[in-house]
Chain A
Amino acid sequence: MTVVFQIPELETDRLRLRAPHLDDWPVMCEFFASDRAKFVGGPMTAEQTWRGLATETGHWALRGFGRWALEEKATGKFIGNCGLWEPDGFPEMELGWDLMAGATGKGYATEAGAAARAHAYNALGRTTVISMIAPGNDGSKAVATRLGAAFEKMFSHVTFGDVEIWRHPTPEALK
């Protein structure tokens, strides 16, 4: 057997950041079929969501980092995805987050985002991270603001169209 790739596990106060599973798929289907997914490339069919989940898993192998599934420690429930994303066509490493239905309003995206950003700075040695946010996505902008990020410029993505680039504080600024 050839070892191909590993996905580390991170923990925050209330969340476990772990490798995506096929078990997460039904919950993701619900989210990606909903209106809330319109800012993150949705709505998507169940099949597109399956391929998206496979892509999220395989991104780890190609880049050495990627997006985690978020599990609520208290319940063991899958509640969202968060992590570092840099597929072909992205200008630089992006920190992103999606919360499934019922998981918003609890500060989970901010909590997971801070842990993923710390992984980029401490484990991967990166010195800067952006978030790409659709212009109307006020919920994500509020999370970015809470994480200390600020609007920098617009970026035209081949699939998503015009998105806002928010720049996160540097590792030094977070010390």
Chain B
Amino acid sequence: MTTFEIPTVETENFRLRAPQISDPDAYTVFGASYRSAGVGGPFTEAQSFQRLAALIGHWGLRGFGRWMVADKDTNEPLGVVGLIYPSDWPETEIAWTVFEKAEGKGVAYECALAARKYGYDVLGLKTLISCTMEGNTWSEVLAQRMGATRDADFAHPDYGTMRVWRHLPPEACK
């Protein structure tokens, strides 16, 4: 028997928890919408299921991954935030996605800070990046608000040119 564990992290306003079988609906709605364009979408329902499975499986393969951000009171999924490092990525990335109905609540900023802290304090990573695709101004503003600065672009075989944002080092986040 192999057991996979995903830790829960609490921020002031949100809970970062493992994705659940009841979450695919929210993820499918996001995948089918224009909002997924910044991450390679839109996606069909079947693709969203596979992407959610891969999101969970990332924890199994790497020992870290992305959480489902949930409302602390209702447990409703608000977005997906965490650390990703698939085989075709230059290094570990802090990634964020916010579902439409959760816009404007500060989900991405607060949870990305928690993911950065987790990467540095729990995983012991020395540096982290975030990648954005051209046109994703919202994410670039967020990266800068976190103190990240532009690094050399990264050419992804499928997604094309990705802008790399280098986050503040651990010492600067204390």
Q: Footprint of B on A, CB under 8 Å?
A: 1-9, 18-22, 25, 45-47, 50-59, 61-63, 87-89, 158-159
In the complex, B141 has a CB within 8 A of chain A: no
Q: Determine if A8 and B1 form an interchain contact, defined as CB atoms under 8 angstroms apart.
A: yes
* Bound-state Cα–Cα, A20 to B53, Å: 14
Q: Which residues of B contact A (CB under 8 A)?
A: 1-8, 17-19, 21, 24, 44-46, 48-62, 86-88, 157-158
Closest to B56 in A: A58
Docked-complex contact B56 and A22, CB < 8 angstroms: no
Contact partner, B60, options A8, A45, A58, A88, Cβ 8 Å:
A58
Check B86 against A57 for contact (C-beta < 8 Å): no
Contacts of B49 in A (CB 8 A): 62, 87-89
A157 nearest in chain B by CB position: B46
Q: Given contacts A46-B88, A54-B58, list 15 more A-B pairs with CB under 8 A.
A: A1-B6, A2-B5, A2-B17, A3-B3, A4-B6, A4-B18, A20-B60, A51-B50, A53-B57, A54-B54, A56-B53, A58-B57, A61-B56, A62-B19, A88-B49
Q: A22-B62, A57-B56 are in contact. Are A7 and B87 (CB under 8 A)?
A: no
Tell me how far the C-beta of B66 lies from the nearest C-beta in chain A, rounded to whole angstroms. Answer: 11
Show 7 A/B contacts (Cβ-Cβ < 8 Å), sorted by A: A3-B3, A6-B1, A50-B61, A50-B86, A61-B57, A62-B53, A88-B45
A79, chain B: closest CB distance, angstroms: 18
Interface contact B50-A87, CB-CB below 8 Å? yes
User: With the chains together, A62 CA to B157 CA distance in Å?
Assistant: 29
B5 touches A1 (CB 8 A): yes
Which B residues lie within 8 Å of A45 (CB)? 157
Instruction: Please give the distance in Å from A147's CB to the nearest CB on chain B.
Output: 26
* Contact status of A54 and B86, CB under 8 A, knowing A4-B56, A7-B1: yes
User: What separation, in Å, do the CA atoms of A58 and B6 have in the docked complex?
Assistant: 12
Q: What's the nearest-Cβ distance from chain A to residue B69, in Å?
A: 15
Measured CB to CB, the closest approach of chain A to B62, in angstroms, equals 7
- A1's partner among B7, B21, B24, B62 (CB-CB below 8 A) is B7
How far does the Cβ of B71 sit from chain A's closest Cβ, in whole Å?
17
Are the CB atoms of A7 and B2 closer together than 8 Å? yes
Q: Measured between alpha carbons, how far is A20 from B5 in the docked complex, in Å?
A: 15
Question: Which residues of the partner chain A approach B44 to less than 8 Å between Cβ atoms?
Answer: 89, 158
Contact B4 A61 (CB under 8 A): yes
A19 and B2 contacting across the interface, CB-CB below 8 Å: yes
